[in-house]
Structure 1
């Protein structure tokens, strides 16, 4: 399904990756965790609609959407702890990367590209994911959704990732699996690659999207990295 146009992104210095659904194939387990959370709480949650409204949002924003009102920090923390504990238990047993991600990230670093992570996930999910991925080399910066920044589609998380690695947004490519994340990249003045693990290429389209692929094996097979002006 790869859609990779001939015109690429000369002058690229950094790649910024969303985490869930982009680095790891975790979105089905997030959905299952919400189902189980709802069962325990006696809440009827329209999972497809809820995921559509919250994919890329911070934990606090998700809690407010879930309850249909502004929640307190304590209530948000309780909701997040219970749901994400369920998620980590479910996904930990079947953990898997989006196909080819580790090799792609390693090849990008070898070509002199800086890498960073910009995710709405909290520190506990970041630690969980990064410990299981065991990236070598690790990303130069990780920005999480519990650092007080607004979630996607606001660009703040991606812009902070770019700032921490010292690269202009215009020289960053964002890798995203969700419409809110693709829109956040556009608002941040960054180009994007759509990872179609949980949404279609049509759902992730935009004038700044330079490629749409199922996974990183497709990107590698297209020689995507070889077209970027990285300095080794």
Structure 2
């Protein structure tokens, strides 16, 4: 347990975390912000348009639940394209990173998806999970270090739009990963980099993820605590892929919290 220090008369908020934890490493989409549904919708629009061009009106659509969770959630954009296409036995040229969105290459499809995500965020804004914000604030009040770890190249823009950028000391996102040549989830490298920047060992850090790939990264990195956040009814899958504990919302890790 980690009591919040302070001399006021309010009841102390305790964190339901192992005492060994000195830092908390948070995924963005689906853990802190409600953008996972935006990403799923953008992937569906991108892949369905491609499959319709390829296979005609009888194409098998992208499943926003199963296909998203199994093949693209938590992965760097190009890896998500490759992973889903491989599940359908489809190969495309890699193309170049600056391929236009209408080009049928791995990077072209990825850029189309990204353009759709940005469009949807501009139109709809970014909503946070209030329980997650309360938890991160309590983590900081308890003196623990914080980082956000995301495969998204738009991570900083999303944090700013959501009004929560100030809650994190370190940001390791798709831009930073590319600059430092860090492989994305399910590899643990981005989480390990965040722990390194916070000057804590992996065994002293907790990982908070909603994606199966994120669970695998937490397990592979030897982190002290791996928390699965189940927003879509995949608790068993999160456990199988490496979660030490699964919660429906991070507020469940605040003792005495009232939603």
Q: What TM-score comes out, normalization by structure 1 length? A: 0.81
Query: Residue 251 of structure 2 is aligned with which of 208, 211, 217?
Result: 217
Instruction: Decide whether the 8 Å contact of 1:64 with 1:71 is kept in 2.
Output: no
Distance in structure 2 (CA, Å) of the matches to 1:121 and 1:149: 13
Structure with higher RCO (Cα < 8 A, 6+ apart): 1
Shift of 1:206: 5.1
Q: How does 1:104-143 map to 2 (within 5 A)?
A: 104-122=135-153, 125-135=154-164, 137-143=166-172
Shift of 1:49: 4.7
Larger radius of gyration: 2
Query: Residue 58 of structure 1 is aligned with which of 52, 68, 76?
Result: 76
Q: How does 1:155-174 map to 2 (within 5 A)?
A: 155-174=188-207
Shift of 1:195: 0.8
2:236 alignment partner, SS class? coil
Unaligned ranges ≥5, structure 1: 1-6, 224-232
Partner of residue 6, structure 2: none
Distance in structure 1 (CA, Å) of the matches to 2:169 and 2:112: 30
Q: How does 1:196-215 map to 2 (within 5 A)?
A: 196-205=230-239, 209-215=243-249
Partner of residue 96, structure 2: 73
Instruction: Decide whether the 8 Å contact of 2:216 with 2:242 is kept in 1.
Output: no
Partner of residue 37, structure 1: 46
Partner of residue 151, structure 1: 184
Unaligned ranges ≥5, structure 2: 1-15, 100-105
Backbone CA RMSD of aligned residues: 2.5
Cα 1:73/1:207, change in 2 over 3 Å:
closer
Q: Deviations over 1:194-219 (max 9, x none)?
A: 11113422111159634321112222
Shift of 1:18: 0.8
Count residues in correspondence. Answer: 215
1:193 alignment partner, SS class? strand
Instruction: Decide whether the 8 Å contact of 1:196 with 1:212 is kept in 2.
Output: yes
Query: Residue 46 of structure 1 is aligned with which of 45, 59, 62?
Result: 62
1:22 alignment partner, SS class? coil
Partner of residue 37, structure 2: 28
Cα 1:184/1:70, change in 2 over 3 Å:
farther
Shift of 1:141: 1.0
Distance in structure 1 (CA, Å) of the matches to 2:62 and 2:129: 26
Partner of residue 229, structure 1: none
Cα 1:199/1:88, change in 2 over 3 Å:
farther
1:97 and 2:128 matched: yes
Instruction: Decide whether the 8 Å contact of 1:8 with 1:210 is kept in 2.
Output: no
1:175 alignment partner, SS class? strand
Q: What TM-score comes out, normalization by structure 2 length? A: 0.73
